[in-house]
Amino acid sequence: ELAAEVVSQTLNGVEVDRYVRISTGAFRDLVDVVGGVEVFVPQVMKYDDNTQKLHIDLKPGLQTLNGKQAEGLVRFRHEDVGDIGRTQREQTLMKVLQKKFQNPLMLARLPEVFSVMQKHIDSNLSLGEMLALVQFGMQVKPNQFQMVMLPGRFSMPDEFPLSYWLMDRTATNKVMKTYFEVEPPMDSAGIDTPSATNPADVKIVVQNASGDPEGSRRMADYLIQVGFANVEIESESPE
């Protein structure tokens, strides 16, 4: 519910009444269901993370990837553009999958597709709504399938200790008006205003559940450092 609220605020109050939450394993299994996907790998991608059981080893060039390789393609993030490159590759893979599902032969594999969805996808869509969307998606032409990334920039080291994507509010307003016909929020004077709340006006109560007795104090200091002025520490530990 909180994720839906934040997305709605970020997108100028657009209503969020349905959600689809997808695990990375869905990419892997869906690609295997359709028999692999042909994509262009832009660079050498090699990365190993035993804690996540993630092992990526891809060579550059146009090639057909199986499910495990496709998952590596969308999860690789060790490049200059960071998560932006990963987002772009996710969009590319989604478009390739959508084109694959337009093949009439894919109708015979719908039971396998729904098996993958039950395993990796959580949603408040009803079965009837899912079937209607699948049928609709198979009729959508590639040039009608559009993905948009909110305009912005990476935060600078002197702005935040961690890296964040900071939206360009004016450019985002244009995206929302062009693609969703949603006007930017207006204040009483008729001036466009950002939907995000001013951090200085937000009250935050920190409750320590980490087991570190100094954890709540460090978190409170960090929040104050980045602009949240009204910060309190809850004295009682959570059960």
pLDDT > 80? residue 227: no
The burial class, CB within 10 Å (0-12 / 13-18 / 19+), for 86 is middle
pLDDT > 50? residue 141: yes
The burial class, CB within 10 Å (0-12 / 13-18 / 19+), for 38 is exposed
- Mean pLDDT of all residues in 118-141: 84
Half-sphere exposure of 115 (CA within 13 A, CB side): 7
Residue pLDDT, tens place only, 37-70: 999 998 899 988 777 777 899 999 999 999 999 9
| CA pair distance 174, 176, nearest whole angstrom | 5
- Mean pLDDT of all residues in 185-209: 65
What is the reported pLDDT for 63? Answer: 93
- Mean pLDDT of all residues in 212-238: 80
Return the HEC string of 162-204. Answer: CCCEEECHHHHHHHHHHHHCCCCCECCCCCECCCCCCHHHCEE
What's the CA angle centered on 185, arms 179 and 190, to 5 degrees? Answer: 125
Mean pLDDT (the chain, rounded) = 82
Most confident of the ranges 110-114, 167-171, 200-204: 167-171
Angle, helices 127-139 vs 83-101, to 10°: value is 90
Look at strands 203-206 and 230-233 and give their pairing.
Answer: parallel
Look at strands 54-58 and 165-167 and give their pairing.
Answer: unpaired
Residue pLDDT, tens place only, 95-127: 888 888 778 887 788 788 888 888 888 899 988
Q: What pLDDT band is residue 215 in, cutting at 50, 70 and 90?
A: confident
SS3 call for 25:
helix
